């Protein structure tokens, strides 16, 4: 009989801080595909795989951490959760709170959230407030509210989130039979960089793998506080999910970089969008722009001679393309792509497609 995936808390119960007293709030998150990417392997000479986290229930990796955070919140008696978000966290918090039968309050920067993510939070009945400020302002308010009011904070400053997200590393090891040589992730709040590093470290300690991968993390040029070593007061990038100027897990990520001989880099929006199209057109994986920075980072490091030929490289792509689909309809110069209109005629359609009629 086929095994029904049960969500990360049940699948990895022996590796997480849960007990019989923990209510399991799950939507079946985790178990996402690790997909070989021949087109990227050909471009780099490495053996490249893509961990497609957009296949989680709300379309992003945030579900892994949210199942843990909301389950623990309910265990502790919480009747409401709160988060600051650029979009994906709000969608996950709203969905898991709804499933748990508790309230979700979401703070997002005014005008800085993609429509798909805004729609998700509203659909899941969250109390959504747009703050006149950036993500960092939202997080400061969320932390203050959690400290002084009866709400439970579910941002990645909550260690339960990191614990849930580390399970993705366990899955990579299970599929590959070992850890990769290099793992590349986008960096916004830096929680996922920390989580993968922790997960790989635990896999190594258990004897499930023989090595710890080098962890590469990439930020957008206009929002690269860790790369530049200073807070960015007004972060700007088309990659809205990583438009964060003061990452909550900054210190943890620096520690993880040292432990893994890792690397942080910054990528321009132009190169993010180029990678976005390469991934969808050549690999068949549709992601939001922030996810594509993993691909852009791979190509940049390969061009710099920093990706060894024949090495195994895993890229995490964090959110589905339907989260923020507008970019798929834009050309490099910013104009809108529209479908070709043809008459209701087979020969005309064949002509536009460049097809020659087959003689019978």
Q: How many angstroms separate the CA atoms of 169 and 82, rounded?
A: 27
pLDDT along the chain (360 residues), means of 10: 89 97 98 98 98 98 98 96 92 97 94 88 95 92 95 94 98 98 96 97 98 98 97 94 93 96 97 97 97 98 98 98 90 85 96 92
At residue 87, the pLDDT reads: 87
- β-strand pairing of 263-267 with 214-220: parallel
SS3 55: helix
| Main-chain dihedrals φ then ψ at residue 108, nearest 5 degrees | -130, 150
Q: Which residues contact 262 (CB under 8 A, 6 or more apart)?
A: 193, 197, 214, 215, 216, 217, 256
At residue 86, the pLDDT reads: 85
Q: Please state at what angle helix 88-100 crosses helix 62-75, rounded to 10 degrees.
A: 40
- β-strand pairing of 47-52 with 34-36: antiparallel
| Main-chain dihedrals φ then ψ at residue 106, nearest 5 degrees | -130, 130
Planar angle of CA 163, 19, 4, nearest 5 degrees:
75
Record the pTM: 0.95
Q: Give the full edge-to-edge strand order of the sheet including 80-84.
A: 127-131, 103-109, 80-84, 152-153
At residue 1, the pLDDT reads: 64
| DSSP state at residue 187 | -
C-beta atoms surrounding 276 within 10 Å: 27
> How far, CA to CA in Å, does 271 sit from each of 104, 198, 276, 293?
36, 29, 8, 8
């Amino acid at each position: 009989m086929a095994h029904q995936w049960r969500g990360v808390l049940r699948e990895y119960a022996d590796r997480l801080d849960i007990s019989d007293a923990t209510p399991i709030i799950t939507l079946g998150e985790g178990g996402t595909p690790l997909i070989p990417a021949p087109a990227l392997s050909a471009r780099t000479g490495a053996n490249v795989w893509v961990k497609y986290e957009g296949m989680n229930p709300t379309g992003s990796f945030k579900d892994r951490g949210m199942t843990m955070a909301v389950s623990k919140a309910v265990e502790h008696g919480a009747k409401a959760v709160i988060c600051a978000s650029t979009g994906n966290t709000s969608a996950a918090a709203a969905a898991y709170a709804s499933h748990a039968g508790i309230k979700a309050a979401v703070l997002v920067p005014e005008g800085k959230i993609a429509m798909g993510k805004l729609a998700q939070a509203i659909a899941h009945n969250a109390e959504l407030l747009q703050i006149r400020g950036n993500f960092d302002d939202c997080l400061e308010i969320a932390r203050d509210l959690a400290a002084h009011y009866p709400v439970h904070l579910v941002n990645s400053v909550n260690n339960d989130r990191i614990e849930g997200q580390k399970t993705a590393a366990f899955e990579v090891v299970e599929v590959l039979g070992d850890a990769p040589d290099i793992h590349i992730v986008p960096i916004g709040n830096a929680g996922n960089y920390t989580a993968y590093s922790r997960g790989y470290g635990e896999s190594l300690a258990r004897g499930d793998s023989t090595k710890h991968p080098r962890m590469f993390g990439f930020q957008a040029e206009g929002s690269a506080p860790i790369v530049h070593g200073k807070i960015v007061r007004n972060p700007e990038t088309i990659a809205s999910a990583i438009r964060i100027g003061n990452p909550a897990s900054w210190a943890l990520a620096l520690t993880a970089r040292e432990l893994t001989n890792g690397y942080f880099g910054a990528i321009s929006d132009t190169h993010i969008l180029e990678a976005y199209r390469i991934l969808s057109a050549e690999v068949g994986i549709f992601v939001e722009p922030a996810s594509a920075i993993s691909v852009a980072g791979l190509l940049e490091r390969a061009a710099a001679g920093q990706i060894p030929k024949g090495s195994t490289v895993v890229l995490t792509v964090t959110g589905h393309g339907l989260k923020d689909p507008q970019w798929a309809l834009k050309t490099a110069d910013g104009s809108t792509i529209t479908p070709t209109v043809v008459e209701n005629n087979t020969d005309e359609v064949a002509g536009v497609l460049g097809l020659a009629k087959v003689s019978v």
